Structures are given as structure tokens and as C-alpha cells.
Structure 1
Amino acid sequence: MQTAEIGRSQPRTAAVLVGAASLLLCMLFFAFDVVWDLWEHLGAGSGYGAGESVHLVFEILAVAGLGYGAWLLRGYVAFLRRETDRNQQTIASLRGSFEQVLTEKFDGWNLTPAEKDVTLLIIKGLSINDIASARNTAPGTVKAQSSSIFRKIGVSSRTELMSSVLDEFIDVSNVET
């Protein structure tokens, strides 16, 4: 999952860097043009006509606008980095809480190690055949283990099992926050 996240974030990061570089290059171009125009006219001792004054004002506004855009972009990227860090911490906390809830539930249900494995795979959404393949057992064995798990937990289906675990996790998560 982290590899997929990295793969998706790299083009976005590159696009932001290209955008920022474009903003700064345009800003530098217009700033240089403003300075050049001022130097050229003031050095020659000539005044500005109405058209040249308007042109110079627009270039100054372009420099200011591009600078402001670059400043906003920098701030937004910093905000997104803080949000990403905060979200990763929340996910890590929730993942740890979920594992703790599962461990407590498994212990409370008196599941065998094999039943714990099957229960975890059921919660992950694997089919009976997929569970059998993952555990190198026959589908009939997984069905028997599933029946034993459902009986111990007091549920009659996969849906009820997942609902029971998620309800407990949500209750625990709400208490912790």
C-alpha cells in the first residue's frame, strides 16, 4: 500500500514543483523586465508615456501576483504536509487500536490459533476458497472452522461477525478520542 501511495504522490509532487518553478520563473522574468524598463527610461532621462506607464503597472502587478501565488503555494504545501503527518498518525493509532480490539475479542471468544487466523481472514473479506488456499487447507476445513467460530462468537454469518468486531472497534475508538 505504501508503494502505491508513493507512486501516486510522485507525479503530484513533480507537478507542484514544476508549477512552483514556473511561477518563480515568470516572476523573475517580469521583475527583470520592470527593472530593465525603469533603468532604460530613467537612465535615458526620458519620461513615461501613458501606454508605457500602464504597461509598467501591469508588469509590477504581475510580479506581485506571481509572488503572492508562490507564497500561497508554499503555505498550502506546508499545510498539506502537516495534514498528511496528522492523518498518518491517526491511521497508525487506529490500526493499533484495531489490532488491540481484535486480540481482546479473540481472547474473549476463546478461539484457537487456527480459528484466530481464519477469523482474521474472514474480517479481511476473503472467500472460503481463498482462506483455504492461504492456509493450505481444504475448503471443508475452513467451513468447519467458520462454523466453530460463529458458534463461539454467537453469530450466524460473516456479516454479523464483521459487524460485531467493527461495532466494538467503533465503541473503543469513540472512548479513546
Structure 2
Amino acid sequence: MTVSDSPPPDDEGDRRPLLVAIVLFAGIAGLTATDIALDIGEGTSLEHVLTESGLFLLALAGLVTMGLRFAALRRRARALEQEAGALAERLEASAAEAARWRAEAHTVLTGLGAEIDRQLTRWSLTPAEKEVALLLLKGLSHKEVAEARGITEATARQQARAVYRKAGLTGRHDLAAFFLEDLLLPPTSPPE
């Protein structure tokens, strides 16, 4: 089981019962050891001393077991904290990369957005149809378009069909291809 597969430690839910058990087992072991020492000094029977020694060993075994479980829990918590830190760093790096790309591509994206809007206007789309077309270009499904616009899915489908009809396209794939086909050409190698 990897760190990411293990459930996150719950400090109150996992650690407190272990600490209570450790204290109880330590108390039982300490009291039993004291009782054994006093019993031996008083000349108690061997059977009684052996019985209490068994109880002492059981308390000691419980103390060691709970101590080991507590140490494992602390290791797991540290590993999860490290993993969370690494994930936060990766997320921050991804966000920085996305911000850098947006900044570098801002002029191009602004111009592209304006050109897409001009083309949608040339197709004589209504404002609602333009919004549907843009949401479809972003990859939203009809259901997601309906949720984003606060309309029914049937209305979203009807508006999408109107976009395709007015544009002379057959569907969402053609709509995306109309705008993206020339943008996604492979880079040309410079002449030698």
C-alpha cells in the first residue's frame, strides 16, 4: 500500500486512543512491577508472583505494540505531509506555467477571440447562439451548456442545431475544426 492509497491520519481519531492505550499499559506495567517487588519482599507464593509477572509481561507487550503503532502512525503522517507538500509544489508550478503561457499568448488569444466573435457574427448568430457556440468550442456537452446557461438541455440542443445550421456545419466536431484546423498545423521547419 502506497502513501497515496492509505487514508489520511486523523490526529484526534487515530492518535488519542493510541496515546491513552500507551498510558494505560504503562500504568498497568508500572503498578504490576511495583506489586511484584512488594510481594517478593513479603514472601508471597511463587504462583502469585508468576501470575503477576505474566500480567506485567502482557502489559509490557501491549505497551510495545501501541508504541510501535503510534510510531507507524507518525511516520505515515509525515509521509503524507511530504506528499502533500510535493503536490502543492507541483500544483504551484503548473499554475505558474499556465499563467506564463497565458501571458505569452495574451495578444494572440485576444485577437483569436475577436476573430471568432466576428465569424459568429458573420453567421448571424443570436447572442444566445454565440454563447452556446463558445461553450461548445470549449468542449462542454449539451448538458453542461444547459447548466452553464441556466436553460434546459433541450433548449441547449436546439440552439446548438441552430448554430450548426446557420454556419453550414454538421455538428460540434465541424465547429471545432472550423476554428482550430489552421491553428493546429505542425510546425514547419525553417529552410536550410
TM-score by length of 1: 0.51
Aligned to 1:26: 17
Aligned to 1:43: 34
Inter-CA distance 123–38: structure 2 relative to 1 (3 Å threshold):
same
SS in 1 for 2:115: coil
Once the 2 structures are TM-superposed, how far is the Cα of residue 42 of structure 1 from its aligned partner? 3.2
Aligned to 2:174: 157
| Alpha-carbon distance in structure 1 between the residues aligned to 2:20 and 2:165 | 74
In structure 1, the gaps of 5 or more residues are 1-14, 148-155, 172-177
Contact 2:21-2:66 within 8 A present in 1 as well? yes
| Alpha-carbon distance in structure 1 between the residues aligned to 2:91 and 2:166 | 35
- In the alignment, residue 13 of structure 2 is paired with which amino acid? S
| Alpha-carbon distance in structure 2 between the residues aligned to 1:90 and 1:37 | 53
| Alpha-carbon distance in structure 2 between the residues aligned to 1:20 and 1:27 | 10
% identical equivalent positions: 8
Alignment of structure 1 residues 1-177 onto 2, 5 Å = 16=8, 19-44=10-35, 45=37, 46=39, 49=50, 51-96=54-99, 97=101, 100-101=104-105, 103-104=107-108, 107=111, 111=115, 113-115=117-119, 120-126=134-140, 142-143=163-164, 157-160=174-177, 161=179
Once the 2 structures are TM-superposed, how far is the Cα of residue 35 of structure 1 from its aligned partner? 2.4
| Alpha-carbon distance in structure 1 between the residues aligned to 2:165 and 2:106 | 21
Contact 2:18-2:66 within 8 A present in 1 as well? yes
More helix by share: 1
Contact 2:164-2:175 within 8 A present in 1 as well? no
In structure 2, the gaps of 5 or more residues are 1-6, 41-48, 121-129, 150-158, 188-192
Contact 1:27-1:67 within 8 A present in 2 as well? yes
Inter-CA distance 120–102: structure 2 relative to 1 (3 Å threshold):
farther
How many residue pairs align between the two structures? 144
Contact 2:15-2:70 within 8 A present in 1 as well? yes
Inter-CA distance 65–104: structure 2 relative to 1 (3 Å threshold):
same
Once the 2 structures are TM-superposed, how far is the Cα of residue 25 of structure 1 from its aligned partner? 2.0
Which digits, 9 at most, give the CA deviation of each residue in 1:19-56, with x for residues without a partner? 33233222222221232123312333247635324413
Inter-CA distance 127–100: structure 2 relative to 1 (3 Å threshold):
farther
Inter-CA distance 23–112: structure 2 relative to 1 (3 Å threshold):
closer
| Alpha-carbon distance in structure 2 between the residues aligned to 1:38 and 1:83 | 42
- In the alignment, residue 104 of structure 1 is paired with which amino acid? V
TM-score by length of 2: 0.48
